[in-house]
Structure 1
Amino acid sequence: MRNIWKIFTSDVKNISKNWVAAVLIGGLIFLPSLYAWLNIIASWDPYSQTDQMPVAVVNEDVGATVRDNQIDAGKELVKTLKTNKDMGWEFTNRKKAMEKLEYGDYFSVIIIPKDFSEKLASVISDKPEKATMEYYVNEKINSIAPKITGKGASVIVEKMSGQFVSTVNGVIFDLFNDLGIEIENDLPDIKRFEQYIFDVEANLPEINQKLKESLTDATSAQNILRKAQNLMPEAQRLTNEGLGTINSTTEFLTKAENRLNEMAPKINEDLQKVQSISKESNEFLKEIQSVDLDFTELENVKKQMNERMNSAISTVETIEADLKHLRDINNAQPSTPAEEEENEVPSAPIGGAELDDAIEKTAALKVTLVEVQNNVENVNGLVEGKQQQLKQAIDDMQQIAAGTSIKLDTFIKDYKETIEPKVFSEVANAKKTLLDAKEVLVGIQSTIPEVERIINNTDGHVSDGTEVIEKILGEFPYVNDKVRQLADRIRKVQGEMDIGDIIELLQNDPEAERSFFEEPIVLKENKLFPIENYGTGMTPFYTVLAIWVGCLLLISLLAVDVKHEDNYFAREVYFGRLFTFITIGILQTLIVTSGDMVLLGVKVQEPFWFIVFGLFISLIFMSIVYTLVSVFGDVGKALAIIMLVLQIAGSGGTYPVALLPEFFQWINPVLPFTYAIDLMREAVGGIVWRRVGTDILYLACVGIAFQLFGAFLKETVNKQTNKLLKKSKESGLFH
């Protein structure tokens, strides 16, 4: 141990006494710090300078018209980029942009094509097309620049997409808002419709029954209409026959009326004549009552009375014959076709009762006249010796004649005042009735074609209606299922969601919804171990690298052996000079770690442990590098450089280990850099002591292993390496 300390103190004295050595050692102490500091400063915040990277923007968009509104998305994008400081945007034409990109003046070029707005506007068509932007990049200029400018181009696309989605959804939610208001206004109708569906569902069996009944009724109506169609020709025939009958009856009545008009004066004349004879006879009998009659005179009276009675009877018979003739004419009126077909008795003749009564009265009057005549004939028997009886007979005859005269007066009065007017009135009424009936039948006859047409049309409609009802009945099971399904859906929707909630959702603020869809997801970043900037994040790597580089500088310029080496054991030389290297390494580490915080302003969460961990790492690294050179000589220097190269690439100091090639992922767990960088990151970001324990344990094991290797194998290995060194010097190429 004494010799080890002697070697160490001798090195310190030699440095302090030799100013050249002191200057060189001082340079070796500060030089690694410069390596770390310059790299940290260079990578401090490179993305804050992207506004100095020239990126060309070419706008060729010609705009588009959407529902009479002009849009120009390219122009709006350029306007937005002019206020954006993320990149050094330069606005030019295609030709100039591509020339400068090829030469290297532009890192990338973004071209907005002429159909940019047109394709964006196609969103309202049935075949929307995605809008595209052309992006050109010169990757030859720099390996990182394309990634940065590509990110800028992606940001543009994201912003445009966000604004487009925001605009489109803003319009949609404006419509939704209006729709919500409209639905709210129509809510009573919606509720009424829901109830209507439920009512229809409840009444489906009754509806089905009504449809079946309607089909039956329609079939019956169709049968009735077809019967009516079949009866139309018969109705036409009967109408025609009725008109014929009415015409013939009217003609007959006209003839009968004319006959009445002809006979009425004659009958009246005869009646007057009979009345005159009756009065004369009555007067004559009155005259002879007051005188005594002899046989001769009686014969004259008898003769006169006979003549008068014969004339009266003849006239009465003429009147009776005329009345019977009139009755016969009346009874001969034509019967209707229905009466003929059904063999019914013809309808009662017009004025028949009055004529029969007149005939009976005429017959009675005739009988009375005949009785008077007979009494006259019997006068002869009474004259012989029966003067008194003759007188009585004449008195009786006179009373009979007087009664006959009265009866005749009464008959004439009835005839003139009742019978004749009644007959004429009945004939006139019959003619009027027939004319009215004719008018009705003519109307019916003219209406029959229209009725026939209506019946035919109605039959067609009923037939069509029957077919429709049959079709509805055929489709009823389907309608029944659909109505029940719809009712079930309504009940399910009512159970799952209130329509009021839907209306409230539709009536959301369109501006708020537009803002939401412009940026539907906001990344809320929570930094567990916050790192201020990129330079701070790279400090652990460059600090560890600087410590290793400091070790390499020392073994490149300082000797690992001592003068008069033969006076010391190999182990004493190893540890004695190791202390010197470690001391210089500690000074290097103190400068680089404190300089990171003080000079560069790196924000370290645990400054004390940052320095302590740095000193520990320096001790381990120096043990590794020193041991390699002390044991293997120049070969050890090469090994130290190889380890540096492998560790820079495989330690995960710049890129995540998961992104490294498989070989580097495989060697990563055994590299000292892996644990040294992780240890320094703990101090910079925030310490997790479990990780610190693992890192320190591994590095301590590696350091102890190298020290044991150097302490026990230095002498043995040096013998072999000295032979190789001597042989290499013979070539004149190695010192």
Structure 2
Amino acid sequence: MKKIFSIYRTDLINLWRVPTGLFLMIALAILPSVYAWINLEAMWDPYANTSGIKIAVTSNDQGAKIEDKTINIGNEVVDNLKENHTLGWTFVDEETALNGVERGDYYASLIIPEDFSRKITSIVDGTMEKPEIIYTVNEKINAVAPKITSKGASNVTQQISENFIKTVSSSILTRMKEIGIDIEKELPTIRNMESKILELENRLPEIATMGEKAIELEQKLPELKEKGQKIVQLEEKIPEINQAADTVLKIEERWPQIQAVAQEVLLIQQKLPEIQKAASRVAELDQNFGKVEEVLNTAIDKSRNADEIVSAALNTLPKIDAIATQGAAFADALTSFLQKNEAAFQTVIPVVKQNLTLLQQTADAATQLTGVLQDVNLDPQKALAAIALLSERVTSGAAVLDNTIDVFTRLNTNVPNSPFTDTISKLTGLQTNMANQIQALNKLQSAIGRGEKPAKDIVNNLNTLSKEASAALGSILARYDSEIVPNMTKALAQTQSIAQNAGGALQTLKTQLPNIKAILTDAQDGIHYAQTQLDTLQKELPDIRAKVHEASSTLQSKLDAFTSGINEAAPFIRNDLPRVEQKLHTAADFIRNDLPAAEEEIRKVADLYQTKLPEVEDAVHLAANLVRSDLPAFEEAVHKAADQIRKVQGSGSVEEVLRLLQNDIQKQSDFLSNPVLIKEDKRFPIPNYGSAMSPFYTTLSLWVGAMLLVSLMRVDVDNLDGIYKTHHIYFGRMMIFLTVGLFQALIVTIGDIFILGTYVVDKIWFVIFALLISIVFITITYTLVSVFGNIGKGIAIIFLVLQFSSSGGTFPVSTASTFFQKVNPFVPFTYAVGVLREAVGGMLFWVVLEDVIFLLMFIVVCYLVALALKKPLSGYTKRVAEKAKQTKLIS
């Protein structure tokens, strides 16, 4: 604190030593007051001098006659305005008035047309034309003057209206008084009417009930009309209905065929997994077809090698047979033969597996053929070619199957526990299966050759047989390597072992020669079959590959849509089709039994609607309009009349009515012309416009004073020795600013009160609040410049501009745009003007407390900004200032 006060004391000493600086400080303290006083004096009471606002007045009114009495309201208006000095009424002709408004000689003009009196009195003859006064205003001369002249024109029209009401009501009341005299003469008739009106009032509920029914009927007319129109439209569509009915009957007749097709869809849905599996296998085959070619070529090479090996073994076997008769030499020769031809025996194992694989492919080909035969767009020629090829393959496969069974049977005798018994059983069953396939293929070939569609049961039977064969062969191949191959190896080894042990069992070996020859012969037959099949397959491979790719592409593109369609159709067939059938039979029964009579009724109703409804509709509208338009007024009039009659009857006479008609006409006329008086109750009254505006201009002058201080005085301190820190400089230099600012607040507020004579209820608080506002404004502007340098001055100016429109100092903030309404709570002017207004008009504690708290919050925010940013930004601010000085324009 000592360093802060040291800076302040130094500033005061420096000002005292330099008279010019002291004089400048005094000028800075007085200048904001001059700004406020001049503006307040200029607009002290602007509405007291409106007589200088010239308005041209012209009356062209020709007057009018009412009951032999001539009146001219235009002249009466002119005479009244000549006695009115609130505005500068100037009476000229029409041309001078209009030219004067255009040139700016007059702010506005009032022209009363020729027919003004005639129109204003038109109520007497019942035409009731509203008169016009032509009001012309030049809005470019001044922004406020048009509002004042508009008010003057409104006062003129109001005065005319009051005079008019007074005159007309006087005439009407005079006439009513004359009527009262006539009423006395007609009392007997009136009494008779009284009883009739009371009786009519008693009947009003019945009339109202009938009226409500008429309105209800009218409300339902659109609904009736709409339904009637639908009946007419329905009559026009009877031919279409009959056509649709014929269609329903035809559908019922063909329902058995529809059900048959639906059952086919359900069957296809059950087969979808198999179809999808087949499609996947086709796609897999298409993707790996290159491997098939490689395997096929390898198989062909191995088949040829195996054939050569087995042929060589068979050619050698007669020699072994001759040797067998030679005793021990036979055993040696046989042992040598078996050792040399061991490879020939080993070829049996892959050849058997290869043959089983080819047989499974044949079975799968049969399954695929059944899918082709079920196609509705079957090509007979292609189908016959495919059946012939498959029949040939199945026939060849049956022969190979016989040899394979023979091989397993012979090997089964050389191995303990007969491990091939189950395999032989399954292969034997396949013989019957393949025979049945050949039979089915022959039937299909014959049927297609005759031009007939393949029988469904035969195709299904072939499909079942081929799938069973493929499954059986797949089961054998699945355990071929793991179970069959080891047992075959053991059987072949056992056969060789028996032959090699010929020293002690030569005769046994000799008996095995037929078995050996048979095994080799069967192996050779299997090799020949495999060679034939593999050669055929190699020739057909390019065509097969193209067909496989085409089938794969077709299946992949259409299978999803086909599956989705089947799955969507199946639930409908299972769940909804029976109900559809029931509804179809019901509809067909209705068409056969009831439709003709219904059509006849429709024609009758449509004719009745077209011929009679317009007349009914007109009558209902007429009755409803009468109820809506006239009945309420009629009821109200009846009730009012009855009430008045009862009041009169209660008093026993109509003297009360006659007394009302014979009241003082002048007093009643005055009451009608001006029935309501405004009693004004001013809260917190302020006698003149200048006093009301003093809070805003005092606040504005204090901000201007703060701007002058930060523009002319330095916010930094010479700190050559570095003894002062940034917060010392900030608070120390601020004190001299606050001192001048407090003098500014004292001068402007005391001058407002004692020099201008501003009306202030709480004068001391007015001064205290101004001191607080000055501290807030000095703190804000000083902080902006101290922290941000010259940029802060610009921010302070922007802040001033924003506060002009957002503080509500002149016009209510609710009349400003949405942006300024949102800014209003965040600017100090809002609370500064508000707290000064409280002092001027009369203080409310909670309003003052709220404004003071918000003003103090601005001080706290400024201190926090200064302490947080002054030191970090000091270097940047200094560099900006030095660069500004280099321009030699900015200090």
Instruction: Give the TM-score taking structure 2 as reference length.
Output: 0.48
Aligned amino acid, residue 691 of structure 2: T
Aligned amino acid, residue 684 of structure 2: F
Distance 1:639 1:483 in 2: 76
Distance 2:841 2:195 in 1: 67
The answer to whether residue 689 in structure 2 is matched with residue 549 in structure 1 is: no
Residue 864 of structure 2, aligned match among 708, 711, 716 = 708
Counterpart in 2 of 1:68? 68
Residue 569 of structure 1, aligned match among 725, 742, 756 = 725
Q: Does structure 1 retain, via aligned residues, the 8 Å contact 2:648–2:656?
A: no
Distance 1:499 1:118 in 2: 38
Counterpart in 2 of 1:586? 742
Distance 2:118 2:689 in 1: 42
Mind listing any 5+ residue stretches in structure 2 that lack a counterpart? 203-636
1:84 aligns to what SS in structure 2?
coil
The answer to whether residue 770 in structure 2 is matched with residue 624 in structure 1 is: no
Counterpart in 1 of 2:111? 111
Distance 1:733 1:3 in 2: 34
Distance 2:199 2:699 in 1: 84
Distance 2:645 2:639 in 1: 10
Identify if the C-alpha distance between structure 1 residues 694 and 503 changes in structure 2 by more than 3 Å, giving closer, same or farther.
farther
The answer to whether residue 884 in structure 2 is matched with residue 691 in structure 1 is: no
2:142 aligns to what SS in structure 1?
coil
Identify if the C-alpha distance between structure 1 residues 21 and 128 changes in structure 2 by more than 3 Å, giving closer, same or farther.
same
1:124 aligns to what SS in structure 2?
coil
Counterpart in 2 of 1:89? 89
Counterpart in 2 of 1:77? 77
Distance 2:739 2:652 in 1: 78
Q: Deviations over 1:526-558 (max 9, x none)?
A: 111111111111111111111111111111111
Q: Give the CA deviation at 1:691.
A: 0.8
Q: Does structure 2 retain, via aligned residues, the 8 Å contact 1:585–1:622?
A: yes
Q: Does structure 2 retain, via aligned residues, the 8 Å contact 1:36–1:542?
A: yes
Q: Give the CA deviation at 1:200.
A: 13
The answer to whether residue 854 in structure 2 is matched with residue 724 in structure 1 is: no
Distance 1:692 1:727 in 2: 46
Considering only CA atoms, is the larger Rg found in Structure 1 or Structure 2?
A: 1
Identify if the C-alpha distance between structure 1 residues 552 and 503 changes in structure 2 by more than 3 Å, giving closer, same or farther.
farther
Query: For 1:387-536, what aligned pairs fall within 5 Å after superposition?
Result: 490-491=645-646, 502-536=657-691
1:713 aligns to what SS in structure 2?
helix
Distance 2:770 2:13 in 1: 27
1:106 aligns to what SS in structure 2?
coil
Counterpart in 2 of 1:639? 795
Counterpart in 1 of 2:753? 597
Q: Does structure 2 retain, via aligned residues, the 8 Å contact 1:177–1:509?
A: no
Q: Does structure 2 retain, via aligned residues, the 8 Å contact 1:547–1:588?
A: yes
Q: Give the CA deviation at 1:612.
A: 1.1
Q: Does structure 1 retain, via aligned residues, the 8 Å contact 2:173–2:661?
A: yes
Q: Does structure 2 retain, via aligned residues, the 8 Å contact 1:57–1:89?
A: yes
Distance 2:84 2:189 in 1: 53
Counterpart in 1 of 2:762? 606
2:121 aligns to what SS in structure 1?
helix
1:567 aligns to what SS in structure 2?
coil
Q: Give the CA deviation at 1:563.
A: 2.3
Counterpart in 2 of 1:4? 4
Distance 1:70 1:564 in 2: 95
Q: Deviations over 1:380-400 (max 9, x none)?
A: xxxxxxxxxxxxxxxxxxxxx
Q: Give the CA deviation at 1:510.
A: 2.5
Distance 2:725 2:639 in 1: 105
The answer to whether residue 829 in structure 2 is matched with residue 677 in structure 1 is: no
Aligned amino acid, residue 119 of structure 2: K
Q: Give the CA deviation at 1:187.
A: 6.2
Q: Deviations over 1:23-76 (max 9, x none)?
A: 111111111111111111111111111101111111111112222111111111
Query: For 1:16-95, what aligned pairs fall within 5 Å after superposition?
Result: 16-95=16-95
Identify if the C-alpha distance between structure 1 residues 199 and 123 changes in structure 2 by more than 3 Å, giving closer, same or farther.
closer
Instruction: Pick which of 539-548 and 174-183 moved more.
Output: 174-183
Distance 1:137 1:556 in 2: 45
Identify if the C-alpha distance between structure 1 residues 640 and 197 changes in structure 2 by more than 3 Å, giving closer, same or farther.
closer
Instruction: Pick which of 559-568 and 62-71 moved more.
Output: 559-568
Distance 2:791 2:34 in 1: 27
Aligned amino acid, residue 680 of structure 2: E
Identify if the C-alpha distance between structure 1 residues 501 and 591 changes in structure 2 by more than 3 Å, giving closer, same or farther.
farther
Distance 2:638 2:18 in 1: 109
Identify if the C-alpha distance between structure 1 residues 113 and 607 changes in structure 2 by more than 3 Å, giving closer, same or farther.
same
Aligned amino acid, residue 111 of structure 1: I
Distance 2:710 2:123 in 1: 70
Identify if the C-alpha distance between structure 1 residues 507 and 41 changes in structure 2 by more than 3 Å, giving closer, same or farther.
farther
Aligned amino acid, residue 699 of structure 1: L
Q: Deviations over 1:166-203 (max 9, x none)?
A: 2212222333445456657876875576479899999x
Aligned amino acid, residue 687 of structure 1: M
Identify if the C-alpha distance between structure 1 residues 618 and 166 changes in structure 2 by more than 3 Å, giving closer, same or farther.
same
Identify if the C-alpha distance between structure 1 residues 54 and 197 changes in structure 2 by more than 3 Å, giving closer, same or farther.
closer
Q: Would you say how many aligned residue pairs link Structure 1 and Structure 2?
A: 456
Q: Does structure 1 retain, via aligned residues, the 8 Å contact 2:805–2:813?
A: no
Q: Give the CA deviation at 1:95.
A: 1.6
1:123 aligns to what SS in structure 2?
coil
Instruction: Pick which of 159-168 and 721-730 moved more.
Output: 721-730
Q: Does structure 2 retain, via aligned residues, the 8 Å contact 1:58–1:92?
A: yes
Aligned amino acid, residue 128 of structure 2: P
Identify if the C-alpha distance between structure 1 residues 75 and 485 changes in structure 2 by more than 3 Å, giving closer, same or farther.
closer
Counterpart in 1 of 2:805? 649
Distance 1:123 1:577 in 2: 80
Identify if the C-alpha distance between structure 1 residues 679 and 20 changes in structure 2 by more than 3 Å, giving closer, same or farther.
same
2:84 aligns to what SS in structure 1?
coil
- The RMSD of aligned alpha carbons is 3.0
The answer to whether residue 800 in structure 2 is matched with residue 661 in structure 1 is: no
Distance 1:661 1:591 in 2: 35
Counterpart in 1 of 2:308? none
Identify if the C-alpha distance between structure 1 residues 497 and 106 changes in structure 2 by more than 3 Å, giving closer, same or farther.
farther
Q: Give the CA deviation at 1:731.
A: 4.0
Q: Does structure 2 retain, via aligned residues, the 8 Å contact 1:170–1:514?
A: yes
Distance 2:164 2:98 in 1: 28
Mind listing any 5+ residue stretches in structure 1 that lack a counterpart? 203-481
Distance 1:687 1:200 in 2: 66
Distance 1:606 1:9 in 2: 35
Q: Give the CA deviation at 1:639.
A: 0.8
1:122 aligns to what SS in structure 2?
coil
Counterpart in 2 of 1:445? none
Distance 2:660 2:67 in 1: 28
Q: Deviations over 1:494-542 (max 9, x none)?
A: 5799956544544443222222233222221111111111111111111
Identify if the C-alpha distance between structure 1 residues 112 and 570 changes in structure 2 by more than 3 Å, giving closer, same or farther.
same
Q: Does structure 2 retain, via aligned residues, the 8 Å contact 1:589–1:614?
A: yes
Aligned amino acid, residue 70 of structure 1: T
Identify if the C-alpha distance between structure 1 residues 666 and 64 changes in structure 2 by more than 3 Å, giving closer, same or farther.
same
Identify if the C-alpha distance between structure 1 residues 562 and 487 changes in structure 2 by more than 3 Å, giving closer, same or farther.
closer
The answer to whether residue 144 in structure 2 is matched with residue 144 in structure 1 is: yes
Distance 1:620 1:171 in 2: 69
Q: Give the CA deviation at 1:708.
A: 2.3
Identify if the C-alpha distance between structure 1 residues 181 and 663 changes in structure 2 by more than 3 Å, giving closer, same or farther.
farther
Instruction: Pick which of 705-714 and 179-188 moved more.
Output: 179-188
Q: Give the CA deviation at 1:16.
A: 2.2
Q: Deviations over 1:360-387 (max 9, x none)?
A: xxxxxxxxxxxxxxxxxxxxxxxxxxxx
